[in-house]
Amino acid sequence: MKQIIEALDLWIKITGVNPEIRDYNKDDWDVYKNNQSLSESLKIDPTCLTTIMMLDHYVRIYLKERTFTVQSILDDFAGMTEYLQQCRQIYSILEMEEIRLLKKDFINSMLEAMQHYEINEPGIFQAIQDPGNIAFLRRDALRSMVNLSVYQFLQGEPDDDTPSYYKTIHEYWNINSLIEEATKMRNGISLNFIRDPKADDSFFAFAIRNGQTISILTDKEKVINPLERHKSRARSKARSVFKRIDENHFPYSLLNVTYIDDEAYIPPHKEQGLVVHKKQSVPRMQLNELSESEIIWLVMMFELIRDKFFAKGFKTKELSYTGEMLHVNDALIKGVEHLVVRNYLPLVASKVSVKDASFEGIAPFLKNKSNGDNLWIEQRYCSMVSERYLNLVSAHDSSNKFLVSLDHISKYKKESIMRLDVSPSDLTGVHFLSFMDSSRLNKEDSDLQEHAVQLQSVKATQIGSAEQLLYDQRYIARYNYVMMLQLAMKREYYLSKDKIFTWFLNSVQNNKDAIISTSVGDDSTNIRFKTLNLKEPHFRDLRHSQIKLYTEVKGEKYTYRCVKSGSEALVAVLFRPTSPSQLAFLCGCEINELPDVLQHWIKPRRSDDPLDWAIVNPWIDDSFEVVVYLSRSAYNKHRKKRGLAANRFWITEEMKTEKPYFIKPTVGTEVRFSCWNGSEAPPGPWLGVITEIIKEGRVYGIYKVRRHFDGEIQQIEGYQKLLRP
């Protein structure tokens, strides 16, 4: 429309903010965001009606708040006259008869729709006749039609019957139940709430039936990786659900969202009228019980859905499936004998084999491929992986747990037998995979948590194309494959950790001379170490250090004396190895002489392979830090042996400034002092010169000093009280 382009050009001139240029000041931020909204409206509404109504709202608000001083008008009267002319011109376009009729027709159509749905609340009619309010709700509805996900599970001939609009919002616990119900509903559209035990996984879905075509339009979160939410932090999950709430006008009041200190919070749902996994739905709300904005938006959505799926007969390029259909090929069509279903392609999926879930089997399917840093783990333990643990299915996104656990080695002597407590095809209840008695698994104890890993399952409620679901199946199988490796690794770790740690401790003790030599400043080994002054607190630095090189004195508990001289240790050197080569240095050996589990002692680079991000190497989590305790004299003595200058790092710059005392001053040295004859002197500074040294010593020395100002001789004890002038 030519007029709208002209109005948008005038809007840019009036505001001085060009939407194509991001260079704007803070005061123009609102205008910049408005320009983005106008650009979006042009893309989603070819009729430009939404853009016209939004622009009308923005112009009236902006010009109402725009102010000028009399002086600024007088300074540029011609420019101000031109500016006012542009304002008058944009108003004349927005109030053209053609545009006025377009807006009037749209508002009348909305009023008629409300009557059709038997919604007669006065507030609704007032909200519809508010041009700004109705403009943004129309924008939101059009945006939702673009952003909501469309899945079609059956495609066939349309029905000539006029579509029905269901006025009741029903709640389901399972998307499969909704799809089944959609095959039985009359031609039309219904809005449904799919509740998840984890509230932030709940979502809304329009069920649409047009003859033999069954469609779902939903705000269910799109995930590329089936374990994406498993990897996400709680805060990012919360942001995701509130983003969905903000982008649409679904009645998420069903989640009882509350706000505490401006933070949104979803309390846990206590269901009383619905048992999880039952197929029947529960009516929750009537259309006229929603808020005004929700009703108006929902009616707009019904009209847009009718136009797209009924009038235009929209069809997706490929059919969609759910996770349940991976294991029950005819899960959908077996219950729709009343529909004539032609050319339905069931989802054919064989079980994922151990080979399919291996490093080589998963690699072609990964976008961010693994570098193989942890491949040694797979090569070491792959013989313990069984196919029976790869193809697990749960009936619900959040209700089932598959748990794998080791025997508690110190308590259980019987041979470990891996078994599955229930059949993987059983889609009800909580499944446990165990090395222990199921009775032990049901107890919440630290032993179970420490020795267990949790498997993932293909959710029966997952939705996607055949390609996506087959990828999800293989990826989850890969994750479970890796968890079996994790379990085997934990098993070996608990059996051998004491033996390997003892070997490491003995090796470090035998190599202590080389370690001490490095601790005084030789960094040619590239091992990271930190030198600490023990007169300062270093609890955080030293609390994880299990290996300590020091001289033990009988009867002195928790006292670490110098490893060389046995005197008071005031210096600690902390070694923090980060690679196998650094472990080898501390042990005084080559990398290939380390225990094989320590030869790969390095964190892997990140990739999409669960072998890199999901597995936890218990050896890396162990601390192999080494602390060397030295006296200050021993520390600098070893520095001297290596040809390094003395380093009194414990004397800080602040200390030098505050207490710059002399070391063994001589007769004739000029000094500053603040006390004499055993008592504090009056405020100084006092200066003088040493005339006689009766006894040398930092604390007990006796020095005669002649004061400059009166020539009187004063006696000062200890050269620590003689400061540099």
> What was the pLDDT predicted at 395?
56
The residue to which tokens 């069920």 are assigned: 207
Q: What is the pLDDT of residues 37-87, one digit of tens each?
A: 999 999 999 999 999 999 999 999 999 998 889 999 899 999 999 999 999
647-685 pLDDT tens trace:
888 876 655 555 555 667 888 888 887 777 767 677 666
Given a cut of 60, whether residue 424 has pLDDT beyond it is no
Q: Which of residues 718 and 615 earns the better pLDDT score?
A: 615
Query: What percent of the chain has a predicted confidence (pLDDT) above 90?
Result: 38
**pLDDT of res. 440:** 43
Cα 117 to Cα 106: distance, rounded to the nearest angstrom = 17
Distance CA 644, CA 531 (A): 16
Task: Look at residue 255 in the predicted model and tell me its pLDDT.
Answer: 81
Residue 522's pLDDT band (boundaries 50, 70, 90)?
low
Distance between CA atoms of residues 181 and 190, nearest Å? 11
Residue 236 is predicted with a pLDDT of 57
**Mean pLDDT, all residues of the chain:** 81
> In the Cβ-directed half-sphere of 544, how many Cα atoms lie within 13 Å?
11
User: By mean pLDDT, which of 252-256, 269-273, 634-638 is the weakest?
Assistant: 269-273
Comparing 134 with 161, the larger pLDDT belongs to 134
More confident residue, 138 or 395: 138
Rg of the Cα atoms in the chain: 39
Cβ-based neighbours of 125, under 8 Å, separated by 6 or more: 111, 114
pLDDT given at position 84? 94
Strands 713-717 and 702-707, bridge-based pairing = antiparallel
The predicted structure's pLDDT at residue 332 = 60
pLDDT at 722: 79
**660 preceded by cis ω (within 30°)?**
no
The 3-state DSSP class for residue 42 equals: helix
> What percent of the chain is modeled with pLDDT above 70?
79
Question: Does residue 443 register a pLDDT over 50?
Answer: no
Residues near 236 by Cβ (< 8 Å), separated by ≥ 6?
none
Asked if the model's pLDDT at residue 605 lies above 50, the reply is yes
pLDDT of residue 257: 60
pLDDT score of 427: 27
Burial 441-462 (b: 16+ CB within 10 A, else e): beeeeebbeebbbebbbbbbbb
Confidence check: pLDDT of 214 > 90: yes
Could you tell me the pLDDT band of residue 20, with boundaries at 50, 70 and 90?
confident
> What predicted TM-score, i.e. pTM, was given to this entire model?
0.74
pLDDT at 551 over 90: no
Which pLDDT value is given to residue 174?
85
Tokens of 499: 């033996």
pLDDT at residue 294 tops 50: yes
Residue 539, pLDDT score: 59
pLDDT in tens, 447-463: 555 567 778 888 888 89
Question: Taken in order 325, 328, 329, 330, is the CA torsion positive or negative?
Answer: negative
pLDDT digits over 403-421, tens only? 555 543 334 333 332 333 3
Taking only the tens place, the pLDDT of each residue in 215-253 is: 999 999 887 778 876 665 545 566 777 788 888 999 988
**Gap between the Cα atoms of 586 and 280, Å rounded:** 66
623 pLDDT above the threshold of 90? no
Rounded distance between C-alpha atoms, residue 560 and residue 552, angstroms: 7
The β-bridge relationship of strands 168-172 and 282-286 is antiparallel
Q: Which residues of 4-42 are buried (b: 16+ CB within 10 A; e: fewer)?
A: beebbebbeebbebebeeeebeeeeeebbebbebbebbe
Instruction: Give the pLDDT of residue 413.
Output: 34
pLDDT digits (tens, 9 = 90+) for 373-385: 999 999 999 988 8
Contact yes or no for 458/392 (Cβ under 8 A): yes
Q: What pLDDT score does 558 carry?
A: 64
Dihedral sign, CA of 109, 111, 115, 116? positive
